Amino acid sequence: MDLSKKLGLLLGPIIFFILLNLPNTLVSEKGDAVIAVAVWMVVWWITEAVSISVAALLPLILFPLLKIMPISEVGANYGSPIIFLFFGGFVMALALEKVNLHKRIALNIIRITGTTPNKVILGFMIATAALSMWISNTASTVVMLPIAMSVIGLLINDADGFTKDDRNFALNVMLGIAFSANAGGIATVIGTPPNSILIGLLENEYNIEISFLKWMLIGLPFSILLVTICYLVLVKWFFPNKQLKFTGSKQIIQEELKKLGPMSRKEKMVLTIFGITVFLWIFRTLINGIFPSLGLSDTIISMIAAVSLFAIPFNLKKGEFIIGWSDTEKLAWGILILFGGGLALAEGMSTSGIVDMVANAISTSEISILFTASLLILLMLFMTELMSNVALVAVLAPVVAGIAIGLEVPILYLLIPATIASSCAFMLPMATPPNAIVFASGYIKVYQMARVGIVLNLISVVLLILLFQFVIPLLF
């Protein structure tokens, strides 16, 4: 264990006890207790002294002991509907990966976009972003990396060796995969955990529901725009490869597709269930309008998909199903616990008066709304480079809601851009798993990622300010 983790392990509980025993109250007795728990969680989250999912279990122990909330109320957050919405999404992602459908989709997208160098880069980026809408950005990066390495291998072994243009191409492919994995998740509710943390907070604390389709109306165009900008910044500005020509990439894609063979019955079954689920998510409001007694929700649809994948037999005689419970060993259970911890912390902040205190402090100040929004976006975006975006949103989203209430701005106006900002981490290898995975390929140096990343971070800030100012008020 390195020094920062050792320090974090000790500092978390030490600061917790100091804050609990201050001579003067900061907010109220209950509010101070919530702040103490939150600080302990944040210290462990930032230093990763223990797994971030373990840190998310602290409210389950400390809130009842400190008389903040009874354990039944704290525990309800760990079984919130939004957690089961994500569970269903995880199960679908698991099925896509098990039958290799995600790889087939990615390869076909690259094949369609073309095989000139810049088109190959664009193909990798579109394929990665498309996968990240439905499966974790880590999984989508892991799928794309070996295919990318094969294509780069062609350049290393060609007649002229590994030239500057070749190196630029390798950089573009690797950075393109990482950046589009981060940006792609913004498009859907289940694409990245911070989106779900926000939806859960809105439903639990403010009775505001954002449907799957409503989120996509914001998330998908923003995601497409961000991937496009990433592509242009990489290939036109930082790492152009004007002289590069190669013909072998088409052959590699065809070979990879050949290895997969024709689409199996299992793949067709998963694709059908996946297609029906997305259809129901998008047209849920319309279906509920036609059949009012049905009461479909995004979570119910997600759970129908999950149960179907477990229960619809692939081979009835042999008792084989598309996926079995043993497959869930690969499921990201820790993320689900992290959601619960985030929602519990948010409820603690709300019931203890912390959110009201922030709202009152902001309402009595003379701060401009636009300046506040810009500052929050900037803070969220650059902090996500240093700590888990899920943990960041879990801690700061309730505070942002309090600021919005204090400014008398609809809370969605501030919360949506702040949450999206947490997914715009382009600067550092440790900021997100996709960044770390492509950095480990050996084709990227830290300064190269940081140079491009700072530009993309600043562009993202501008885009999110425009989103706050002009787009969100039209939709909400």
Tell me, what's the pLDDT at 262? 92
* Phi-psi region at 244: left, alpha or beta (left = phi > 0; alpha = psi -120 to 50): beta
Tell me, what's the pLDDT at 389? 87
Q: Say if residue 10's pLDDT is above 80.
A: yes
Widest CA span in the chain: 74
- Report the amino acid identity of residue 150: S
- Tell me the mean pLDDT in the region 305-324: 88
Q: Say if residue 265's pLDDT is above 80.
A: yes
Tell me, what's the pLDDT at 246? 63
* pLDDT bucket at 34, cuts 50 / 70 / 90: very high
3 state SS of 74: helix
Domain ranges of the chain: 82-330
Tell me, what's the pLDDT at 158? 60
Count of helices and strands (H, E) across the chain: 23, 2
Q: Say if residue 331's pLDDT is above 90.
A: no
* Phi and psi torsions of 306, nearest 5°: -60, -50
Cα–Cα distance, 444 to 176 (Å, whole number): 12
- Tell me the mean pLDDT in the region 265-294: 91
Mean pLDDT of all residues belonging to the chain: 89
Q: Model pTM greater than 0.75?
A: yes
Tell me, what's the pLDDT at 114? 74
* pLDDT bucket at 159, cuts 50 / 70 / 90: low
Tell me, what's the pLDDT at 360? 82
Q: Say if residue 161's pLDDT is above 70.
A: no
Residue 27 CA from chain centroid, whole number = 32
* pLDDT bucket at 157, cuts 50 / 70 / 90: low
The Cα-based distances of 38 to 55, 337, 376 in angstroms read: 10, 16, 19
Handedness of CA 120, 122, 126, 128 (dihedral sign): positive
More confident residue, 234 or 361: 234
Tell me, what's the pLDDT at 326? 92
81-85, 136-140, 223-227, 272-276 — most confident range:
223-227
Tell me, what's the pLDDT at 122? 94
* pLDDT bucket at 18, cuts 50 / 70 / 90: very high
Nearest to 342 by CA among 117, 59, 103: 59
Q: Say if residue 38's pLDDT is above 80.
A: yes
pLDDT digits (tens, 9 = 90+) for 339-360: 889 889 989 988 888 888 888 8
* Phi-psi region at 319: left, alpha or beta (left = phi > 0; alpha = psi -120 to 50): left
DSSP class of residue 328 equals G
Q: Are 37 and 16 in contact (CB under 8 A)?
A: yes
| Tokens at 375, concatenated | 């500052």
- Report the amino acid identity of residue 309: L
DSSP class of residue 264 equals P
Q: Say if residue 160's pLDDT is above 80.
A: no
The Cα-based distances of 51 to 44, 45, 336, 348 in angstroms read: 8, 8, 13, 22
Beta bridge partners, 321, equal: 313
pLDDT > 90 in the chain, percent: 54
Tell me, what's the pLDDT at 430? 78
Q: Say if residue 225's pLDDT is above 90.
A: yes
* pLDDT bucket at 36, cuts 50 / 70 / 90: very high
Q: Say if residue 235's pLDDT is above 90.
A: yes
Give the ranges where 291-367 is alpha helix by DSSP (H).
298-311, 333-351, 354-363
- Report the amino acid identity of residue 151: V
Cα–Cα distance, 277 to 302 (Å, whole number): 7
Handedness of CA 163, 169, 173, 174 (dihedral sign): positive
* pLDDT bucket at 470, cuts 50 / 70 / 90: very high
Range of lowest pLDDT (15-24, 196-205, 347-356): 347-356
DSSP class of residue 320 equals E
* Phi-psi region at 393: left, alpha or beta (left = phi > 0; alpha = psi -120 to 50): alpha
pLDDT digits (tens, 9 = 90+) for 418-464: 999 999 989 988 788 899 899 888 889 889 999 999 999 999 999 99
221-230, 240-249, 255-264, 291-300 — most confident range:
221-230
Range of lowest pLDDT (45-54, 172-181, 306-315): 45-54
3 state SS of 363: helix
Nearest to 180 by CA among 156, 203, 148: 148
3 state SS of 315: strand
* Phi and psi torsions of 315, nearest 5°: -140, 100
* pLDDT bucket at 82, cuts 50 / 70 / 90: confident
Cα–Cα distance, 441 to 459 (Å, whole number): 26
Please provide the distance, in angstroms rounded to a whole number, between the alpha carbons at the two ends of the chain.
47
More confident residue, 161 or 129: 129
Tell me, what's the pLDDT at 440? 86
Q: Are 147 and 102 in contact (CB under 8 A)?
A: no
pLDDT digits (tens, 9 = 90+) for 385-430: 877 788 889 888 999 999 999 999 999 999 999 999 999 989 988 7
- Tell me the mean pLDDT in the region 221-238: 96
Q: Say if residue 163's pLDDT is above 80.
A: no
Q: Say if residue 247's pLDDT is above 70.
A: no
Cα–Cα distance, 266 to 104 (Å, whole number): 13
